[in-house]
Amino acid sequence: MIKGRTRVALLASALIGGALSGCAPSTEPQKEDTAPAAGAEGAYRTELSMAELMAHVLDHAADGVWLNQGWVVDDKGERELFPTTEAGWLAAENSAATVAETANLLLLPGRRVDDEHWTDHAHALHKASLEAMKAAEARDKQAFFDAGGAMYVACRDCHQEYILGEEPMSGPQR
């Protein structure tokens, strides 16, 4: 029988493992708006492809959240992955803020998919990331872990629909 923290540790391992594989750039074509941004001064510049944005910005920031939460239970016992210093918590908080703002980058002309689900997924990621940021600010381990899980679900559901071409497992947050 799996008990409390052991179950949480297994969930953390599943989230981190799934997150690391789930955010890898896909070789599949993506349904994205590839129209060039307007040429006017001050127009958005979106030269990075969706795969590049994910690999270099979003994945990196999400790892700053996911790799700093949860518990590991192994033959050496149980240990926490949460930050242990103020600098560590600040780094986790900054990573969550970066994910939240990167969710907005997914909605820029030149990246946004012309589909209401795309916006719903980006908004779900933004909301979960802000929750992770607030939990890191409060040094609330359980809330930080829960918000990281919600970030993972937002990513997984979007990838399910736009990379794999299937229905999201939990559906977009409307």
pTM recorded for the entire structure: 0.74
CATH class of domain segment(s) 49-68+86-162: mainly alpha
Q: How far apart are alpha carbons 168 and 58 in whole angstroms?
A: 20
β-bridge partners, 77: 74
Task: Supply the pLDDT for residue 171.
Answer: 58
Digit-by-digit pLDDT tens for the chain (174 residues) are 445 444 444 444 444 444 444 444 444 444 444 454 455 556 888 889 999 999 999 999 999 999 999 999 999 999 999 999 999 999 999 999 999 999 999 999 889 887 889 999 999 999 999 999 999 999 999 999 999 999 999 999 999 999 988 888 875 554
Cα-trace Rg, the chain: 17
